[in-house]
Amino acid sequence: MSANTASGVRVRMYRQGLGDCFLISFPREGGGRFHLMIDFGVLLGTANAEERMKKVARSIALETGGSADGKMKGKVDVLVATHEHWDHVSGFVQARDEITGLIDVGEVWMAWTEDPNHPLANELRQDRKRKVAHLHAAAARLRGDTAMGDAAQGIEGLLGFFGARAEGGSTADAMKSLSERPESRVVYRKPGEPVFTLPGVEGVRVYVLGPPEDRKLIKKSDPTKRGREVYEFASALSLADTFFAGVALGLDDEGKGALAGAEMDPDAADLAFPFDRRYRIETEAARKLRVRKKGGGSCHFFREFYGFDAAGQGEGGDDGESPAWRRIDSDWLGVAQDLAMALDSDTNNTSLALALELGEGGPVLLFPGDAQVGNWLSWQSLSWPADPKRPDGAKITTDDLLRRTILYKVGHHGSHNATLREQGLEKMTSPQLVALIPVDQEMARKKKWAMPFGSLYERLKARTRGRLIRVDQGRLPFDEAAKYGLTRAEWEEFERRTPADPDGEALWIEYHLGG
């Protein structure tokens, strides 16, 4: 049965750049195909991004039954938007005309975190919006300090995951355009809902694994050392609040305008000051402050020991201007890097993670979005009755699903914290395991990101015995795969199952299951 269900299933990975776009198609009972599309985006700053995404959209339209002249629309039965990051949803903005004009969508699936009627979801989104605005402000302030330019660039790179700041160009706009499609039904998925099937497709069952509906887990992003499961940034909110209160303080009018709608309660902002008002000395007053000098006389203390002059090449002392190299005007903003990373991870953690089971007890396709540690860990507490009619009977656990996983869409372009080791990859023990990595290493290198992450990449190659497909390089060549134990015959079989687009434009590559 499982072999039958798997046969004819095709997973297509589009090769638009560093970003996710997958089209999975299942044979329908009685002919035709059922199309499940997951994500449609490419990283901000990719060359010709719009053109590429339009091309991908046209290809999807054709593949799903549309006509080349566009007179007949294609039909995607289910469109999944895993999470609100530009490299997953940019196409909905960049190729808006194509995606609406050429393709009909049956259902749109999003995670519960996008549900406008869910209180925790609203809180998370509100918090995210505020932090994005503040981090942009922090990055702008860092830009002004040459020594901190790298930090600013790093933060802006991370904020690029939320799209451009221009009107209509953000991820929020992309998500909004999805929920406003008149012909589609939007479904907010949450883990723990009963297993369900795809209409008209025999044997395929869908398991929703994440994101966890739990405030703590959804904020947990980094692997803990020493195996302790304590969540990080226990006080991220209040820590961030005091920090941002400082950021807002130093903004000019333009910067304050940019923060509109994300301002802080003035009482809270005042509490962020460490000392009473009477102790605080403003810069102008500090410049003039004189203190008694040893042996009589007085000196301008802060001029001599901190300095206000931008050039500040002096040596200080005896009322000279203190040198600029010892000042700390921007160092405190460096923590914005941590906050930007935390925000990025928190958003990745809202990924809708799906497992598609091909026939009862059959092989599993795992699409975790960019789920990070907290999301992955939460799957461990899930289980589903093997027989829906007997809820107290035998259970299917996440471990069962991982054990049967034969195709793994590697999370977050192969970064180190989006694939769990012991509770994840090491449990995918199927000898047929294949990995798809939507990564463009050149692009990642330009951004100075370690994607794919060295040791994880090694482990993936070992686990799949070299049966691995990347967006940038396609399938692993035989010489490379052979190092991980793949025989020539096996590799040729793998090659046969992984055809690329016939035009040789490297637009997509597929993996054909079964048969």
Partner 1 sequence: MAQAPSSPAFRKLRGYAFDPSLSTQLETAVVNEVVFRVRWEKELGAGPVGEYLEVVDFDPASGCFYAPVELDHPAILAQDGVSPSEGNPQFHQQMVYAVAMTTIANFEHALGRKALWSPRKRPDDKKEEPLVAPAAGAGEAAEAAEAAAASEAPAGGSGARKAREPLYSYVPRLRIYPHALRQANAYYSPEKKALLFGYFPAAQDNRGVHYPGGLVFTCLSHDVVAHETTHALLDGMHRRFIEATHPDGLAFHEAFADIVALFQHFTFPEVLRHQIARTRGDLASQSLLGQLAQQVGQAVGNYGALRDAIGQDNPETGQWEPKEPNPEDYANVLEPHDRGAILVAAVFDAFISIYKSRVGDLFRIASGGTGVLEAGALHPDLVNRLATEAAKAAQHVLNMCIRALDYCPPVDITFGDYLRALVTADYEMVHDDDRGYRIAFIEAFRRRGIYPRDLRTLSEDTLRWNARFEEVECDLVPLCLILRRFVETLSYPAEDGGDGTAVDERQRIWDEMENYGGLVNLLINGSDFDRAAFGQLTGLCLSRKHVPLGLRTNKHGIPKLEVHSIRAARRVGPDGDLVNDVVVCITQRRKVLVNPDDPVPPGWYDDDERHDDDPEWFWFRGGCTLVLDLETHSLRYAVVKRIGSESRLRRQRLFKTGGELAGLRATYFGDPTRSAEPFAFLHASHEPEP
- List binders of partner 1 among 236-255 (CB under 8 A): 238-239, 241-243, 246, 249-250
The whole-angstrom separation of Cα 362 and Cα 5 is 8
Instruction: Take residue 268 and report the two structure tokens written for it.
Output: 């809270």
Name the residue nearer to partner 1 (CB basis): 280 or 488: 280
Q: Check if the beta carbon of residue 202 is closer than 8 Å to that of residue 29.
A: yes
The piece of 85-93, 210-218, 224-232, 385-393 that touches partner 1 (CB under 8 A) is 224-232
Residue selected from 3, 187, 234, 462 as contacting partner 1 according to rule CB under 8 A: 234
Residue selected from 104, 319, 329, 360 as contacting partner 1 according to rule CB under 8 A: 329
Residue selected from 224, 381, 429, 487 as contacting partner 1 according to rule CB under 8 A: 224
3-state secondary structure of 99: helix
Shortest reach from residue 2's CB to partner 1, in Å: 37
Which is it for strands 185-189 and 103-111: parallel, antiparallel or unpaired? Answer: parallel
Name the residue nearer to partner 1 (CB basis): 225 or 389: 225
Binding residues among 138-177 for partner 1 as defined by CB under 8 A: 147, 150-151, 154, 157-158
Shortest reach from residue 447's CB to partner 1, in Å: 8
127 lies in the site for partner 1, by CB under 8 A = no
Name the residue nearer to partner 1 (CB basis): 70 or 323: 323
The whole-angstrom separation of Cα 198 and Cα 77 is 9
Instruction: Take residue 277 and report the two structure tokens written for it.
Output: 């008002």
Beta bridge partners of 289: none
Interface with partner 1: number of residues (CB under 8 A): 73
CA 73 distance to own-chain centroid? 30
Contacts of 508 (CB under 8 A, 6+ apart): 12, 13, 14, 15, 23, 56, 59, 500, 501
Q: Tell me how far apart the terminal alpha carbons of the chain are, to the nearest angstrom.
A: 12
What is the pattern of x (binds partner 1, CB under 8 A) and - over residues 448-467? xxxx-xxx------------
Shortest reach from residue 381's CB to partner 1, in Å: 18
The whole-angstrom separation of Cα 379 and Cα 371 is 11
Residue selected from 28, 176, 190, 416 as contacting partner 1 according to rule CB under 8 A: 416
Shortest reach from residue 303's CB to partner 1, in Å: 11
Shortest reach from residue 34's CB to partner 1, in Å: 36
Name the residue nearer to partner 1 (CB basis): 105 or 418: 418
CA 116 distance to own-chain centroid? 20
Q: How many Cα atoms within 13 Å fall on the side-chain side of residue 58?
A: 10
Residue selected from 30, 69, 182, 228 as contacting partner 1 according to rule CB under 8 A: 228
The whole-angstrom separation of Cα 252 and Cα 241 is 19
Shortest reach from residue 242's CB to partner 1, in Å: 5
Residue selected from 97, 123, 331, 495 as contacting partner 1 according to rule CB under 8 A: 331
Shortest reach from residue 490's CB to partner 1, in Å: 30
The whole-angstrom separation of Cα 398 and Cα 207 is 9
Shortest reach from residue 132's CB to partner 1, in Å: 16
Shortest reach from residue 246's CB to partner 1, in Å: 3
Name the residue nearer to partner 1 (CB basis): 282 or 479: 282
Q: Check if the beta carbon of residue 369 is closer than 8 Å to that of residue 353.
A: yes
Residue 27 has φ and ψ, to the nearest 5°, of -65, 135
Shortest reach from residue 175's CB to partner 1, in Å: 23
Query: How deeply is 214 buried, as exposed, middle or buried, from its count of CB atoms within 10 A (0-12, 13-18, 19+)?
Result: middle
Binding residues among 266-325 for partner 1 as defined by CB under 8 A: 272-276, 279-283, 285-286, 289, 291-294, 301-302, 305-306, 325
Q: Any idea how long the chain is?
A: 515
Residue selected from 47, 68, 166, 230 as contacting partner 1 according to rule CB under 8 A: 230
The whole-angstrom separation of Cα 157 and Cα 181 is 30
Which is it for strands 474-475 and 33-38: parallel, antiparallel or unpaired? Answer: unpaired
What is the pattern of x (binds partner 1, CB under 8 A) and - over residues 338-367? x--x--xx----------------------
Name the residue nearer to partner 1 (CB basis): 172 or 272: 272
Rg of the chain over all Cα atoms, to the nearest angstrom: 26
Helix 236-249 / helix 119-143 crossing angle, nearest 10 deg? 40
Residue selected from 170, 337, 349, 398 as contacting partner 1 according to rule CB under 8 A: 337
What's 350-377 look like in SS3?
CCCEEEEEECCCCCEEEECCCCCHHHHH
Shortest reach from residue 282's CB to partner 1, in Å: 6
Residue selected from 206, 335, 386, 500 as contacting partner 1 according to rule CB under 8 A: 335
Name the residue nearer to partner 1 (CB basis): 196 or 332: 332
